[in-house]
Amino acid sequence: MPQEVYGFMSIILTIVFIGLSWWALQSLRFEKFVKNPNGAQAKLLQIFLSIVVGYEISRFFLDYLGWSLTFGNMFS
């Protein structure tokens, strides 16, 4: 896979998974974990959590793709 395609796919996947993580974290009841769930600090925490979770999920899928491509080259 060309380097440019892999780079573009990495950016797109990371943004998509950060968005999905943000969407999924909206169902979490933050009022049980933070003092002021509607405050700026709580929103920043949600943003940071969605970035961390989304990045890690995208890394997993990109690593899996890389491993799959490497495994396919073993038999060529």
Give yes or no for a contact between 20 and 55, defined as CB atoms under 8 angstroms apart. no
Give the predicted TM-score (pTM) of the model: 0.83
Q: For residue range 6-60, list pLDDT tens digits in order.
A: 899 999 999 999 999 999 999 988 888 888 888 899 899 999 999 999 999 999 9
Which is nearest to 46 in space by CA: 33, 59, 56, 58? 33
